[in-house]
Amino acid sequence: MEFLLAEELNLPTMGETRQGWVIEHRNNAILIDIGAKSEGVISGSELQSMDDETRELLAVGNEVTVYIVNTEDQHGNVVVSYAKAAEELDWTRAEELLASQDVYKGKVIGQNKGGILVKLGQLRGFVPNSQISRRRHFDDNQKNKLINSVIQTKVIEVDRKRGRLILSERAAEKEARQARRAELLASLEEGTVLKGRVINLADFGAFIDVGGVEGLVHLSELSWKRVNAPADILEVGDEVEVFVLNIDQDRERLALSLKRLEPDPWTIIDEYYQVGQLLEATITKLTKYGAFARLDDEYALEGLIHISELSENHVNHPKDVVQQSQTVTVRIIRVDKDQRQLGLSIKQVVSDKFVEADLEKLTTIQD
C-alpha cells in the first residue's frame, strides 16, 4: 500500500537524482519543482559556496538536475542539491572518459607539491607530477603559471567512493603525438627538407624530432666527411635541417640525412684529389681482381687497387700482398667523377713517372 501511495504521489527517495525546474528564488533558498507533492529546496549553505557561473544556471524557468539529500528535514522540506547532482553526473562522465580514453580539456584550478588540480565539472581531478608533460620544465613555484590555463588530459583512475580522480597530461600528449606522427608521415614525401631538433644520440646515429615524429640519421648519413660518432658533430638540443631519405608507412619509420644537404665530394673531387697524389689508405675488402681501400682523410672515399697495381711482380691473389685493415700508402692513378670511381696503386708509389711531381711537392713543403 505504501509503495502504491509513493508511486501515485511520486514521492522522492534519498539518493535519487531527478530532473526539475527552478520556480522561485528566496533570500536563503531556491525552490525546485521536482514533480512531487512538495518542492525541493536548495539550502542557503549550498548557495553561499556557488560561483557566479553556477548561479546563472539556476535562473527561474531553467531545467536542472538535482540530488535528493533528505526527503523531509525538521521543517518538512525536501532538501535537494544541485552540486551533488552535478557531481554524480560528473563522476559518471569521468567513468565514461576512463572507459573511452577520450582526451579531456580542463582548466587548471590549483597546484600543490605533488601536482596540479584540474576541474572536471564539479570535480577536482589531480594530475601528479609524474603525469605532467615532460615538455614543462618548472619547479613547484612555477606551477602557479599554469593556473587558469586549459590543458589536455586523459582520465587514468576513477574511485567514486574514495573521491579519487586521477588525470594524465602525458597520456593525452602521447595520443596527440601519435596522431601528429600519422598525419605527418602521410603528408611527407622523399626528398623533403625539414627542420628538426636532436633528441638522442646513439653509436649508430642521431634521432631527430621533426614536428612530433622521430626520424633516424644513420651514422653514414651524418656527413660526407668521416664521423666516428654522432657526438663528434651533434649535441642533444641542436636545431638542424634534414633531408627525408625514406618513409616506411607500415613500420612508421623515417630515414633522414644531414649529408645530402652538403656538397657531394664527388662533385668537387677535382679540388681535393689529383692523379699522382700520394695518400694513406686502409684496405677494406679483397677480391680476386684487386683490393678496395678507404682513403685516410676527412672524406674517407673508397678506391680500387687493381691486382695489376699491387706489385711489380706477378700476383696470384691480393691476399698475397695486402691484408684487410692494413694501412698502406697509395697513389691516385685515375679519377672518374662521372662513374664516382678512384683508381689507386701501390706499385706506382715509387715510380719514375711521378718523380718530378713528387720532388716538386717535396720542395714546396720544405719551403
Which percentage of the chain shows pLDDT scores above 90? 55
* Gap between the Cα atoms of 64 and 35, Å rounded: 13
The confidence band for 307, taking pLDDT boundaries of 50, 70 and 90, is very high
Please identify, among 144, 173, 202, the residue that sits at the C-terminal boundary of a domain: 173
The answer as to whether 179 is a domain residue is no
The answer as to whether 71 is a domain residue is yes
What pLDDT is attached to residue 316? 95
What CATH number did the domain enclosing 17 receive?
Answer: 2.40.50.140
- Do 235 and 288 belong to one domain? no
The answer as to whether 184 is a domain residue is no
What pLDDT is attached to residue 141? 65
- Do 21 and 76 belong to one domain? yes
* Gap between the Cα atoms of 219 and 221, Å rounded: 5
Only one residue has cell 644520440, namely 201
Q: Please say if the pLDDT value at position 365 is more than 50.
A: no
What pLDDT is attached to residue 2? 47
Contact between 120 and 90 under an 8 Å Cβ cutoff? The reply is yes
Please identify, among 261, 279, 306, the residue that sits at the C-terminal boundary of a domain: 261
User: For the residues 262-291, what does the mean pLDDT come to?
Assistant: 90
- Do 162 and 239 belong to one domain? no
Indicate whether this model's pTM tops 0.75. no
- H or E, element range at 193: strand 193-202
DSSP 8-state secondary structure symbol assigned to residue 347: G
User: Average model confidence (pLDDT) for the chain?
Assistant: 87
What pLDDT is attached to residue 245? 93
The answer as to whether 162 is a domain residue is yes
User: For the residues 232-261, what does the mean pLDDT come to?
Assistant: 91
Q: What are the angstrom distances between the C-alpha of 211 and each of 69, 73, 247, 275, 320?
A: 52, 61, 15, 47, 54
Q: Please say if the pLDDT value at position 359 is more than 80.
A: no
- The number of folded domains in the chain is 4
State pLDDT tens for residues 180-201.
777 778 888 899 999 999 999 9
Please identify, among 31, 61, 87, the residue that sits at the C-terminal boundary of a domain: 87
What pLDDT is attached to residue 4? 43
User: For the residues 284-300, what does the mean pLDDT come to?
Assistant: 90
* Gap between the Cα atoms of 41 and 75, Å rounded: 11
Tell me which residue range forms the domain holding 60. 2-87
Q: Please say if the pLDDT value at position 362 is more than 60.
A: no
The answer as to whether 306 is a domain residue is yes
Only one residue has cell 679540388, namely 271
